[in-house]
Amino acid sequence: MAAYAAANSLMNTIQLILESPRLSLVPPSPKILQPAYDAMCCLQQNLQKLDETSSSKIRTKVNDLDERIKEAIWEFEDLLETCYTNQILPQLESSGGVRYQLSFSVDLQSLRQSVDCFVERVAVMEAEYDAELLNMPEEEGEPISLRIDFSGINSNMVGLTYEFERVREYLVEDEGKWVSVIGMAGVGKTTLAKKVFEDPSVQRHFELRAWVRMGRKCEFNEILRCILAQVDPNIRNQMLTKRDDGDDKKLVGLFEERLKDKRCLVVFDDVWEWDMQLMESLAKGNVQILLTSRIRMKHSFIVLPLLSDEESKKLLSEKVFGEDGFPPHLDELGEKIAKKCEGLPLVIVTVAELISIEHKIRTEEAQKQQLISKEDKILKFWIEVAEKQQHPVFVNAYDQIFEVLYPSYEYLPQHLKMLFLYLGTFPPYSNITMFYLTYQLSAEGFLKQNRDQTVESFIDQCSSDLVLRYNLVIARLSPDESSYSTDESRVHSCWQHLCKKIANKIKFLHVFQSCSDIIQDQRRLCVHSNSLFCFKEVYHSIKSNCASMTRSLLCYGPYHQYPVPIYAMDFKLLRVLYARRVRFYHFPLEILKLVCLKYLALTCNKELPSSISNLFHLQSLIIEQHMNIRKRGTLSYMPVEIWDMQELQHIEVIGRDLPTPNSGATLDKLMNLYGVTAKSCTSEILRRIPNLMRLGIDVELKPYDDSDDSNPLSGFDHISDELQNLTTFSFILLNPVMKLESMVSLSMFPSSLTELELGGLGCPWKHMNDIGSMLPNLKILQLRHYAFQGPEWNIESNCFLKLEKVQINDTDLVRLRAEHGSIPRLKYLGMHDCYKLQELNLARDPSMVTTEIELFDCNLLVIIPAKSMLTFEIYSSFYYSI
């Protein structure tokens, strides 16, 4: 579980000490630390062997050992980082941050003893771990009679009509060899399979049918017996008698003999591992296979979505009140409760059961009391369930289904487990901001990518696996279900509950729920109500129980306009401080003592101090403004010492610019620069950040005349010359004057761009075609706040040959037309707040990819010609659906 992540964290810590350009290590310190690093490399390889074991293995003892190994690693890492911090911080404070080279010297004998003891301790536990892996007990199998008994499965299905028709059509009409129904645990896979299995047309089509509940342990011989017991009544009793004689060929022969020329449907429910031998043995002749699984298999599949709000409400009402549905006075509250279930049938049914029980109890209590009417007592209960964020009904429901969900986490690959637990930090019902999460995880250091992968590509792959392969993260899928929208991914609240519960137990992460939370030795702290830090109980609890070992502090609550003392809790080893939603009057100087800090995000209007360079390990610097108020003629720059921070990868400082360096300093690792103005885009500055991949420029039109702001769109011609690696470019004109028609220089757009965002420019639409012709690699285009204006945009042929996603917000566009030969790869078109839109005509070749079209707050009478709809699917929350 956590040992793999702990090992990688320690490896990163050692690597940071050995390779930092700001540190001068006294020999032979590097050689003393190297054995600990090598031990972690070896340990990780052994821990990964667990991923190769069958899901039928019981992991209790292995997990216990994993916990012990993790504790040993954390103990040594705390010792090493504390020693490092205690030496580096006094040097920084005494030099005022000016001194560049820092020395790290330790008591060599003491360090050698600590390393030797640690390596030996881990080696002993590692050997024990290997032995336990070889002797993991098997989960007990179930009797065949239970595996083929599906009488208790309810096939009354709410929603999923489209998916049901797809499965039935595939089996009956297309006669595909096999199809899998996949989706999150509790989404209704088994219910849908049962409904298909019992469908009259399916029964007429297949003379023989068999149902096998697989689970995590179901062997080949047993599966064949399950099938034969159902397709051949003459040998049913013989097959039900569990006798594993190992003669699989004989059983296959019996199956083929019984089958002959008859069509047979076999349903494998709850499949955990793909068995090619089984599929090749069965998928012959007229045998067709329908399987359900939480994990995406390597063949035709149908992903079950969550229920809509309307379907959720219907299911909840039926489970609580039967066919009559909600009484009028509870209808609105029932709708709110159903929405909180987030479309997962298992949660809806469990919540309904708990509500029904409590409903009955309160009814009986009300009948005994004369002061409060029955209706008032019940109504109060429903209001509490609907409005309270963590109501006991939902908490109890999540606890009840924990055992159903847990295996999905338990059998994840090692490198995904801690990432998934980390997603539990996000507030319920909120989207995950994958872009920022990437840099937080990089700063955390517990993830390990392959040598040929960047951090971004590695985390993209991990998140893709959680969404597409393991169905643990909710996202809007593309029409072919092969990709998803990263902007709209989130974790279901029931999974967040699981993540928080497991993470808290192993001391990996704690999400505050109240002032009385026990947080002893927690490594990461998260809060969804930032005001909790204002309570003395919380402040003192953190300071005394875990501040000395805490690596992350995440303030994810609503925006808090008054400072809270998060910086004064004596954090020493903090790596990630996310306080973007907490306002600070001044930049907290105590933060400059966090010499291990790699990720800093907060809100502060005051200038950054020059001693910001004390944070020389910092990778991400995000400083927002509480209010953007500046005096006329004043310019706001980051301190010139920013150029000494060689580890910076991401800078996002709204309203502040990069200064021109005094020497030949460069920021070679800087990949992202956001929130700056033209002042940061001179040739001299851009030349010093040669590897920049993402640039976001905000140009503000001021209500007064400044000589240097006479033409806000000038001075960017050299961007394409200096930034050869730029892939993402955002250019936003704030406070635009729409009466003026402007043009931007085409030479400001490097041909390497794959993503472009423009806003407030007010250019004519024809100019967009000119820009597109300069960008042969463009895949994503976002046009916001009258980036272009005018009634018509005719997308010319050969302009956007690789474009996949277009988002247009807030424009006066009336007609959008695409000529033949344009946008052949378009997968998504979203239009928001386009009230004047009358015609959307995307004339395309039917062989081109299917495109999703979303229209939000647009003209209800927009015309979409029928010929355009041959290759399009149109999605909208309220007025288009085909």
Q: Provide DSSP, 348-376.
A: HHHHHHHHHHHHHHHHHHHHH-SSS-HHH
pLDDT digits (tens, 9 = 90+) for 326-365: 888 889 999 999 999 999 999 999 999 999 998 888 777 7
Average pLDDT, the chain: 86
Task: Kindly write down the DSSP assignment for every residue of 138-190, as one continuous string.
Answer: BPPPPPHHHHT--TT------S-HHHHHHHHHIIIII--SEEEEE-STTSSHH
- Cα separation, 685 vs 657, in Å, equals 10
Q: How far are the Cα atoms of 290, 570, 672, 739 from residue 602, in angstroms, in the given order?
A: 51, 18, 17, 37
Give, in order, the Cα–Cα distances in Å from 772 to each of 669, 714, 715, 845.
29, 20, 21, 20
Q: How confident is the model at residue 879 (pLDDT cuts 50, 70, 90)?
A: very low
Rounded Cα gap, residues 846 and 872, in angstroms: 9
Which of residues 138 and 248 earns the better pLDDT score?
138
In sequence order, what DSSP letters do the residues of 545-601 get, joined into one string?
HTTTT--EEEE-SS-B-S---GGGS--SS--EEEEEEEEESS--GGGGG-TT--EEE
Q: Are 172 and 202 in contact (CB under 8 A)?
A: yes
pLDDT at 870 over 50: no
Evaluate the omega torsion of the peptide bond into residue 233 and state whether it is cis, within 30 degrees of 0.
no
Region 165-179: what's the mean pLDDT? 85
Q: Which residues contact 873 (CB under 8 A, 6 or more apart)?
A: 479, 850, 851, 852, 853, 882
To the nearest 10°, the Cα dihedral for 595, 596, 598, 602? Answer: -60
Q: Please tell me which residue, 121 or 390, carries the higher pLDDT value.
A: 121
Q: Is pLDDT above 90 for 535?
A: no
The more confidently predicted of residues 81 and 256 is 81
Non-local CB neighbours of 155 within 8 Å, separated by 6+ positions: 191, 194, 195, 197, 198
pLDDT at 707: 47
Judge whether residue 877 has pLDDT over 50: no
State the pLDDT confidence band at 379, using cuts at 50, 70 and 90.
Answer: confident
Tokens matching residue 344: 């997962």
Q: What is the pTM of this model?
A: 0.91
Answer yes or no: is pLDDT of 279 > 60: yes
Q: What is the pLDDT of residues 763-813, one digit of tens each?
A: 899 999 999 989 999 999 999 999 999 999 999 887 898 999 999 999 999
Q: Which of 323-332, 374-383, 698-707, 748-757 is the least confident region?
A: 698-707
Average pLDDT over residues 99-118: 78
* Type and span of the H or E element at 75: helix 60-95
> Helix or strand or coil: residue 342?
coil
- The pLDDT assigned to 474 comes to 92
CA neighbours closer than 13 Å in the CB half-sphere of residue 641? 17
- pLDDT for 635 equals 65
| Average pLDDT rounded to a whole number, residues 426-449 | 90
* Per-residue model confidence (pLDDT) at position 634: 59
Are the C-beta atoms of residues 599 and 440 closer than 8 Å to each other? yes
For the stretch 547-569, pLDDT in tens is 899 999 999 988 877 777 776 77
Determine the average pLDDT of the residues in 274-280: 75
Select the more confidently predicted residue: 414 or 827.
414
Position 871 scores a pLDDT of: 44
Beta-bridge partners for 732: 698, 759
Report the half-sphere exposure of 426 (CA within 13 A, side-chain side): 24
Report pLDDT for 878. 34
Q: What is the pLDDT at residue 636?
A: 81
Whether the per-residue pLDDT at 882 is higher than 70: the answer is no
Cα separation of 598 and 617, whole Å? 6
Q: What is the pLDDT of residue 293?
A: 94
End-to-end CA distance of the chain: 45
> pLDDT tens, 497-521?
999 999 999 999 999 988 888 899 9
Which range, 62-71, 217-226, 368-377, 844-853, is most confident?
A: 62-71
AA identity, residue 513: Q
pLDDT digits (tens, 9 = 90+) for 567-623: 677 899 999 999 988 888 888 888 999 999 999 999 988 889 999 999 999 999 999
